[in-house]
Structure 1
């Protein structure tokens, strides 16, 4: 591989590097992604590479880095995805990422991360997906960072799906606004949302059966939306932009309501989880003309992002 030629990504495996080669890599100002697997990469090498301003994606598997590399990587302003596997990291270096504005996904797999080191994740502003397979983090340590509502922990052999449910429940409890609510409204909104889930699943089963985007199929979708949703333009989303998921995992067939809020007397937020995708959603239900209808749906990914219905 010619390191003098301009590149956007590099993938290295089972390789040693000279100081000159690391300097050439660090001089690639347009580099967006880099991967080192089974390479003798050290903290001093990462210090040089972290000066790359456009770096978005970094993979470090079975290298010689320590927590010092986390300090250096935190200075890469556009870093969004950091995948670290098999490294002498205990989590102390995570403190430097506290105010990082872009980091979205973090893997610290097969490391020395423990309940003390994971505490730094509580203060992360942007971080969403976290994977901590083969670490010393316990359920107790995981529960202690539930105050950060944006964290999404990937289950593994040690931190099971049941543990994740407990963690997410604690997240919602700790971050839920202390507001009054009308029990009748909550029951009605839950009924509406569950009915919408059922009708849309039936529609997708029908769409799957005929396997053709006909006017009849579009009209059936429109009818469901007219019954359960606020009438408004939804650019790029259903019902005008026809799309459907195939079974057995239809769009809403694995959705379960997990929590609720009622910020105002005419607005209810229903939180759900897709048990197949392990994703969390928030549905906004509004009361207009004395009738509750679904307004929008958002999914959790380092904050709530519009998902469409």
Structure 2
């Protein structure tokens, strides 16, 4: 299989003959991104081989022989998303994910006073956006209050802009709120189930706050201090070990 140049996904689950040794033949593979190795005999030593596959983005290791110590030994592989549920405790998984994030940090220690301020700022933004989405999702109330579709959308956008004006940097956000109107109909909206999990000081005037949503997808919010005022600038999501813009 290592000779298949277009191979991107490989699932070898529930095969005890798989130890991981064979992945030494994939160390120059140009495409392989996703590996499923649940219930195989992959172990701590062979995991060290596997994480060297150059394009690898995700790996599932449920029910293998990999120990927590072996997992922590590859925490420097911060661009790979590991699926570990069932094999490790929730606390162990959090510890490992924290170690992955720490491996990518080359910045100064977080200013705790700034972090606490920005944490509350983010939570307040989440709260107001959740209320806005609940309002947006109540189409019957909107129809009663505002005559016509265009009038409804103008009111929604106006309310959204006010929230962004209060919490966010002033810049054009083409394709994202508040320039474009989008909202979640799920309970809690976009941000209602986000949990703050980490922070990172970029410079004296820039900081990331990391969250995790109900699907375990990680997000990070960039804060910028301008004229002694911290504001939310943008958001990214971690897709397959890579941070991509996802907007606010």
Structure 2: distance between partners of 1:113 and 1:193: 41
Structure 2: distance between partners of 1:124 and 1:272: 28
Counterpart position of 2:148: none
Counterpart position of 1:79: 7
Shift of 1:236: 1.6
Structure 2: distance between partners of 1:143 and 1:189: 30
Conserved? CA contact 2:206–2:224, under 8 Å: yes
Q: How do 1:40-189 and structure 2 match up within 5 A?
A: 69=1, 71-73=2-4, 76=5, 78-87=6-15, 88-98=17-27, 100-189=29-118
Partner-residue secondary structure (3-state), 2:56: coil
Q: Any idea what the Cα deviations from partners look like across 1:237-262, whole Å, max 9, x if unmatched?
A: 11122111123252111212222222
How has the CA–CA distance of structure 1 residues 252 and 97 changed in structure 2, closer, same or farther, with 3 Å as cutoff? Answer: farther
Counterpart position of 2:230: 292
Shift of 1:297: 0.9
How has the CA–CA distance of structure 1 residues 165 and 122 changed in structure 2, closer, same or farther, with 3 Å as cutoff? Answer: same
Shift of 1:266: 1.4
How has the CA–CA distance of structure 1 residues 89 and 248 changed in structure 2, closer, same or farther, with 3 Å as cutoff? Answer: same
Question: Comparing 262-271 with 101-110, which one deviates more in the overlay?
Answer: 101-110
Conserved? CA contact 1:204–1:245, under 8 Å: yes
How has the CA–CA distance of structure 1 residues 125 and 226 changed in structure 2, closer, same or farther, with 3 Å as cutoff? Answer: farther
- Structure 1 unpaired stretches of 5+: 1-68
Aligned pair partner of 1:228 in 167, 178, 185? 167
Shift of 1:290: 2.5
Q: How does the TM-score come out when normalised to structure 1? A: 0.69
Shift of 1:149: 0.9
Structure 2: distance between partners of 1:197 and 1:104: 33
Structure 1: distance between partners of 2:206 and 2:168: 14
Structure 2: distance between partners of 1:218 and 1:132: 45
Structure 2: distance between partners of 1:99 and 1:262: 35
- Structure 2 unpaired stretches of 5+: 143-151
Partner-residue secondary structure (3-state), 2:171: coil
How has the CA–CA distance of structure 1 residues 217 and 172 changed in structure 2, closer, same or farther, with 3 Å as cutoff? Answer: same
Structure 1: distance between partners of 2:27 and 2:119: 37
Structure 1: distance between partners of 2:30 and 2:227: 42
How has the CA–CA distance of structure 1 residues 144 and 223 changed in structure 2, closer, same or farther, with 3 Å as cutoff? Answer: same
Counterpart position of 2:138: 209
Q: Any idea what the Cα deviations from partners look like across 1:162-188, whole Å, max 9, x if unmatched?
A: 332121122123332251443322222
Conserved? CA contact 1:267–1:284, under 8 Å: yes
1:279 paired with 2:210, answer no
